Amino acid sequence: MSTEKQSEEAIVSETEHAGGKAEEPAEDQAIFSVKSMLWHGGSAWDAWFSCASNQVAQVLLTLPYSFSQLGMLSGIVFQIFYGLMGSWTAYLISVLYVEYRSRKEKEGVSFKNHVIQWFEVLDGLLGPYWKAVGLAFNCTFLLFGSVIQLIGCASNIYYINDHLDKRTWTYIFGACCATTVFIPSFHNYRIWSFLGLGMTTYTAWYMTIASIVHGQVEGVQHSGPKKLVLYFTGATNILYTFGGHAVTVEIMHAMWKPRKFKHIYLMATLYVFTLTLPSATAVYWAFGDQLLNHSNAFSLLPRNRWRDAAVVLMLIHQFITFGFACTPLYFVWEKVIGMHDTKSICLRALARLPVVIPIWFLAIIFPFFGPINSAVGALLVTFTVYVIPSLAHMLTYRKPAARQNAAEKPPFFMPSWTAMYAVNTFIVIWVLVIGFGFGGWASVTNFVKQVDTFGLFAKCYQCKPPAPAHPIVAPPHH
């Protein structure tokens, strides 16, 4: 039997969910068990739904804003470019996970009741310094990813009910999203991932059709790109769009056969293109430069029952995405306080609550929806999603013995290890110069401008000003 086959069988035999019980593909359970069907997911399809659902959440509504900054052609090119680049680095992460797990299992290490995370992979393959770097970037990225979902919830619901300001809605949705502490692990997102992808599919095609039916606004202008700051801010927002694999390792670990993951992220990205490209193109075609001052596309689309349905569906999906982003943070916190092996869901939920509080607070401090996306993309996603996986892959297989005994060989379309090194080097240089360098400069400049304009703790960011009250005319003096 080949080493690769033995490794795969070892991984399958050890796969478990966070509740602690070994999870096999439903052989010991009733085939049509409702609990199994809706709650315990570990198939390749579950992973695909999780990746696709997690990739396009609130950012779907900011892509037209990015197109207004970039222009139509650059917007389309950057989406395809960063989508493929993101799929490649997700593949690298999956390879490194399999390598780490196969090495540890040869040493007799068991992962029962333990969810492997990205920083542990880096620690096992490259040492404690890489663990510290991976942990810092990943946790900060997930923290602000969760913040963005809360800001998005408040921004969206405001377009249905503006009787409360966005800051008050943030308080309310912070409390609602805190209930994700009761969802044990990614095994338990089966029905949520399925529903979430359906919701974003509806919203994307609603945006596309509504924009075409609405037609172009009078005097529409498509003047982008106009300024370098705006151009690189928009590019970085798209970099962020296809950088949703801070949870890749956790999704893989929830699979019955993690080796099947390696092509799943690419398949998810190709489906996401069918949502993001038509919707962003159509909305930008219809509204043009108006989007420069409207980072949420809902603010320009005409209000009717179709738009309200899209808003409600996106709200539910943001709750799901909040859980996706927070769950790895819950795992890290559980490991820090020694609660990760606890089987009681209620006890674990109570232990997780301190993670939600700073997220809630940050969403109230920085309610700048579009700009915070770009800032997170430039300063965090660049390293978490692109630079660190590429460097880690090159360093893990730098020695001939490591390449010879690799659990995963280069894919069929890569002729050699040299070609893989060339691709990885290109990604590191491109992302450091364009994404982190120019993108960081542009995003931070734009973010500071928003803080100066609206101030911290803004009560209602980018809200319509209240209608002026009719002045009381004093009676004439006689």
* Separation of alpha carbons 148 and 373, rounded Å: 7
Tokens of 32: 């049509």
List Cβ neighbours of 16 (8 Å cut-off, separation of 6 or more): 22, 23, 111, 112, 113
* Separation of alpha carbons 158 and 119, rounded Å: 38
Burial of 238 (0-12, 13-18, 19+ CB in 10 A): buried
The β-bridge partners of 22 are 16
Residue 108 main-chain phi, psi, to 5 deg: 85, 15
CA distances to 26, 99, 437 from 321, rounded to whole Å, are 27, 28, 28
Q: How far is CA 117 from the centre of its chain?
A: 16
H-type alpha helices, 158-263: 166-177, 190-214, 228-241, 248-253
pLDDT at 424: 96
Listed residue (421, 428, 406) closest to 95, CA to CA: 406
Per-residue DSSP letter, 431: I
* Separation of alpha carbons 189 and 176, rounded Å: 17
* Separation of alpha carbons 186 and 193, rounded Å: 10
List Cβ neighbours of 216 (8 Å cut-off, separation of 6 or more): 285, 286, 287, 288
Neighbours of 171 (CB within 10 A): 14
Per-residue DSSP letter, 237: H
Tokens of 132: 């510290």
pLDDT at 9: 46
List Cβ neighbours of 330 (8 Å cut-off, separation of 6 or more): 181, 348, 352, 355
Tokens of 358: 């700073």
**Which residue is listed with tokens 């799943």?**
264
Per-residue DSSP letter, 26: S
Listed residue (318, 385, 279, 328) closest to 57, CA to CA: 318
Handedness of CA 59, 243, 84, 370 (dihedral sign): positive
Residues 253/115, Cβ–Cβ less than 8 Å: yes
What's the length of the chain?
478
**Which residue is listed with tokens 């966070």?**
18
Residues 439/370, Cβ–Cβ less than 8 Å: no
Q: What is the pLDDT along the chain (478 residues), one digit of tens a residue?
A: 444 444 444 444 444 443 334 444 444 444 445 555 555 667 888 889 888 888 877 778 889 999 999 999 999 999 999 999 999 999 999 999 999 999 988 888 877 777 888 899 999 999 999 999 999 998 888 888 888 888 878 777 877 877 777 778 888 888 888 888 887 776 677 788 888 899 999 999 999 999 999 999 998 999 878 888 889 988 888 888 887 666 888 888 888 888 888 889 999 999 999 999 999 999 999 999 999 888 888 889 988 999 999 988 988 888 888 888 888 888 888 888 888 777 788 888 888 989 888 888 888 877 666 667 677 778 888 998 899 999 999 999 999 999 999 988 888 888 889 999 999 999 999 999 999 999 889 888 877 876 666 656 666 665 665 555 444 455 555 4
* Separation of alpha carbons 170 and 341, rounded Å: 32
**382 phi-psi bin (left φ>0, alpha ψ -120 to 50, beta other):** alpha
Q: Quote the pTM value.
A: 0.82
